[in-house]
Amino acid sequence: MKEKLDLTRIPRHLAIIMDGNGRWAKKKGAMRIFGHRHAIQAVKDAIEGADNLGIKYLTLFSFSTENWSRPQDEVKALMELLVKTIIDEVSLMMKNNIRLRSIGDVESLPKSAYEKLIEAQRQTESNTGLTVILALSYSGQWELTQATKRIAQKVSEGKLKPEEITQQTVADHLETAGIPDPELMIRTSGEYRISNFLLWQLAYTELYFTPVLWPDFRIEHLYAAVEDYQKRERRFGKTGEQVKP
């Protein structure tokens, strides 16, 4: 599948909504956490596939602010799984020159999860290959609200005039400041929505929806999404004739 791709037209930034763990587990007659555990391989395949293609940024929607309202047993199990996965994967990230970052209200995570996350980011911060970004306790509306507060604070302190606020000003105060917007977003499980994910950043992102449930997602599915992306014409409001090489 990789040989079908034009390696000169690989997206710099790929974002993924990892959906379908619960439904996958239900099909197996198991509890939801069973699906979350089996989703770890899908995460590994997504990281490996992105790294193989030379993608620079991979953002994974791991846990939304809305997910806190799920049954507490599931949330607790998810947090424990997060800690274990981070511990297990740091050595591999170091070996493969992968950098770990996070966006979202990560300070709201349980202390053990937060500490392991921060330590993993510290250990990998000098790596220069693929940057894996975990969106944790994150939502696009929360992010835009936080950015608005930061900008308003600067205005109130006299550091910024309202007429000086531009689109770039907003972008510079987002969680993803300094990171290019995704060119491609994949959502698994057959749902056709972005679920409060990267609301600002997805303005001109190509969206790819697949019926594959996340625990079944593998490298070939990622390659198929990139192949589909390469068939599209990205116009950014221009005509087709204007953007042709």
Determine which one of 21, 45, 52, 67 is catalytic. 67
67 as an active site residue: the answer is yes
Q: For residue 178, what are its two tokens?
A: 């300094």
19 as an active site residue: the answer is yes
Beta strand ranges found along 104-151 (DSSP E): 131-138
CA pair distance 117, 32, nearest whole angstrom: 23
- 3-state DSSP call for residue 212? coil
Residue 229 neighbours by CB under 8 Å, 6+ apart: 11, 183, 184, 206, 208
CA pair distance 118, 83, nearest whole angstrom: 11
Look at residues 133, 142, 58 and name the one whose alpha carbon lies nearest to residue 101.
Answer: 133
Sheet bearing 131-138, strands edge to edge: 99-103, 131-138, 57-64, 13-17, 184-187, 206-209
Indicate which residues carry an active-site annotation.
19, 67
